[in-house]
Structure 1
Amino acid sequence: MNRTLATLAAGLVLTTVAACGSSDSDSASGDATKAPETTTITVFAAASLKDTFTEIGKQFEAANDGVTVTFNFAGSSDLVAQIQQGAPADVFASADTKNMDKATGDDLVEGTPRDFAKNTLQIATPPDNPARIASIDDLADSGVKVVLCAAEVPCGAAAAGVEKAAGVDIKPVSEEQSVTDVLGKVVSGEADAGLVYVTDVKAAGDTVKGVTFPESAEVINTYPIAALSGSKNAGVAQAFADHVVGAKGQAVLATAGFAKP
C-alpha cells in the first residue's frame, strides 16, 4: 500500500514539472511573436523647413524600422522659447544661428550644432502683382500693403538687414511670427507683398510671384541643427541630425532651393 502511494506521488511530481515546462515554453514562444518596440522622436524645426523636413522625416522612417518622427514647425524664436520652458523635444533645427546659440547657451544642446543649409529672402506678391512691385524700394511706397516677419524671428531679422542694405524703411501692415504666416497673407490677397525665403516662393508655386532683388545677397540665413540634451532617445535624435546633413537629406534641401551651408 505504501509503495502504491509513493508511486502515485512521484507521478504527480513529474506531471507538475512537465506542466510547468510547457507553460514556460508557451511564454517564450509568445514573446518571440511580439511586435518590435517603436521609438518616437520630436523635431522642433523652423517653419520654412516644413516641406523639406516632412519629406526627410519619411526618408528617415523608411530607413529605420520602428522609428516615428513627429514635428513641431514654428518660428525659431518661438521654438527655442518652448525648449527653454521644458517642452519635450529631441532635435532642434533653427533658421538662424542666433536662436541656436540661445539653446546652446542654456546647455540644451547635445554636442556641437552643425550647419545644414542657407537661405535668402525674396519678395512674394500675388500672381498678378497688383501693386507692381519690382524692387525692394517699392515696398516702402505709401499705400503698398507689406507683411514682414517680426524682428525676433529669423526672417524678420533678415528683412531688417536687407532694409538697411537697401536704405529703405518699410512700414508693414502686420508682423508675423513665422514666414509661413507672411506667405499666407500674400496668398490670400491680404497683402500686396511680403518678404519670405526663396524656398517659400518656390514651394508656393503658382499661388505667388517671386521678385528678386540684389540686396538679398547681403543677408544670408544659415540653418544649424542639433540633438537636444533632454532627449530620451539621444541615439535616434543624433541619427536624424546626421541624416539631415548627409547626402539624402541634402538632396531634398537642394531640390527645394536651399543653398549648401
Structure 2
Amino acid sequence: MTLPTLRRTLQPAVGAIAVLLALSACSSSDGSAGASAPSSPPAGASSAGDLKGTVTVFAAASLKESFTELGKEFEAAHPDTKVTFNFGGSDALAAGITSGAPADVFAAASPKTMQIVTDAKAAAGEPATFARNQLEIAVVPGNPKDVSSLKDLTKSGIKVALCAKEVPCGAAARKALDGAGLRLTPVSYEQDVKSALTKVELKEVDASVVYKTDVEAAAGKVEGVEFPESAGAVNDYPIVLLKDAPNAGPANAFIALVRSDEGKKVLTETGFLNP
C-alpha cells in the first residue's frame, strides 16, 4: 500500500477515536455513567468554613456564665469567628441598641425589655424565647439573719438590695412582693442582677432577690433561699438577630446554637429552665 493510500485509510479512524475521547471527557466531568450531577447547596446555606468575623452579643447580665461557655463552643466549632459580649441590665442594653450601638444579637431577660428593641424596628425578625429564669433570695453564707421567706426580708434590721424596677430582675421581685402583699424598702437599687448579687458577696447587705442562676454561679460566696412566690414571677428570655447586624450570618448561627439541644444543656446546667 502506498503512503498516500495509507493516510487516506487512517484519517476516518483517527477522527472516530477523537470523537470517542471527547465523549469520554464529558462523561468524566459530569460524574460516573448513570449518576446524576451533584446538586448545588441551597441558597443561604453556610458551612463552618463560611462563618468568619466577630459576632457582637448584647446579653442580660444573668446570662454571663452560660453565654460565655456557649461563646467558647461556637468559636471552637468555627475557628475563623470570635464572639464578644456586652453583659448588663436588659433595659440599658436595649437603650444602647436603639441609640445605634453596633451589635448583632440581643438576648434579654424579659419580653418587656425586648419590646423596646422591636418597637424601635431594630430587630430583624420575631424574637424567640430560649430560656426561663426564677427568682431566689441570696443571703450571706451561714444565713446569719435566718432568712427563710420573702416576708423575712421586710423585718427590721435586715439590709436588702434589689434590682431597679426598670431591670427585669427588679420587675420580677416587685411582682413577687406585690403578689404576697409585702412592702420592702431596700438599702440600694442596682442596675443589673450581678450588682445586686455582689452586694451580698461583699456583705454590704444581708440579702438580695436575684435569679437562681446567679446563686448557682456564686456558689460558696452566697447561699440560696427559695420562696414559693417566685413561681408567679418567672421571666422568659427572648433572643433576636438585630436589623443592622454587622455580621448577620455568624450571628444567626450563634442564635441557632443557643436554641439547640446543646444550648439548652448548657443553660439548664447553669440553672435556667427550658422555655
Q: Name the counterpart of 2:173.
A: 159
The alpha-carbon deviation at position 247 of structure 1 amounts to: 1.1
- May I ask how many residue pairs the two structures share in their alignment? 226
Partner Cα distance (1:254, 1:128) in 2 = 26
Q: Name the counterpart of 2:224.
A: 210
Which whole-Å deviations, capped at 9, do the CAs of 1:14-54 have from their partners, x for residues lacking one? xxxxxxxxxxxxxxxxxxxxxx9940011000000000000
The alpha-carbon deviation at position 218 of structure 1 amounts to: 0.8
Match of 2:187, as an amino acid? V
Partner Cα distance (1:67, 1:135) in 2 = 46
Q: 2:258 aligns with which of 235, 241, 244?
A: 244
Partner Cα distance (1:187, 1:102) in 2 = 32
Match of 2:89, as an amino acid? G
Which whole-Å deviations, capped at 9, do the CAs of 1:155-176 have from their partners, x for residues lacking one? 0000100001111101100000
SS, match of residue 242 in structure 1? helix
Q: 2:108 aligns with which of 78, 94, 109?
A: 94
Q: Does 1:231 align with 2:245?
A: yes
Runs of at least 4 residues of structure 1 off by over 4 A?
A: none
Match of 2:206, as an amino acid? D
Q: Name the counterpart of 2:95.
A: 81
Partner Cα distance (2:145, 2:125) in 1 = 48
Partner Cα distance (1:138, 1:41) in 2 = 44
SS, match of residue 111 in structure 1? coil
Change (3 A) 1:60 1:133: same
Partner Cα distance (2:64, 2:156) in 1 = 33
Which whole-Å deviations, capped at 9, do the CAs of 1:136-158 have from their partners, x for residues lacking one? 00111122100000000000000
Partner Cα distance (1:168, 1:157) in 2 = 14
Q: Name the counterpart of 2:125.
A: 111
Q: Name the counterpart of 1:121.
A: 135
Partner Cα distance (1:65, 1:141) in 2 = 54
Match of 2:120, as an amino acid? D
Q: Name the counterpart of 1:17.
A: none
Q: 1:141 aligns with which of 149, 155, 166?
A: 155
> More helix by proportion, 1 or 2?
1
Q: Name the counterpart of 1:14.
A: none
SS, match of residue 73 in structure 1? strand
Using the aligned pairs only, state the percent identity: 52
Could you state the TM-score of these two structures normalised by the residue count of structure 1? 0.85
Q: Name the counterpart of 1:259.
A: 273
Match of 1:225, as an amino acid? I
Match of 1:107, as an amino acid? K
| Alignment gaps of 5+ in structure 2 | 1-49
Partner Cα distance (1:177, 1:133) in 2 = 24
Q: Does 1:176 align with 2:190?
A: yes
Q: Does 1:188 align with 2:202?
A: yes
Q: Greater Rg, structure 1 or structure 2?
A: 2
Q: Name the counterpart of 2:12.
A: none
The alpha-carbon deviation at position 65 of structure 1 amounts to: 2.4
The alpha-carbon deviation at position 203 of structure 1 amounts to: 1.1
Partner Cα distance (2:252, 2:108) in 1 = 16
Partner Cα distance (2:94, 2:103) in 1 = 10
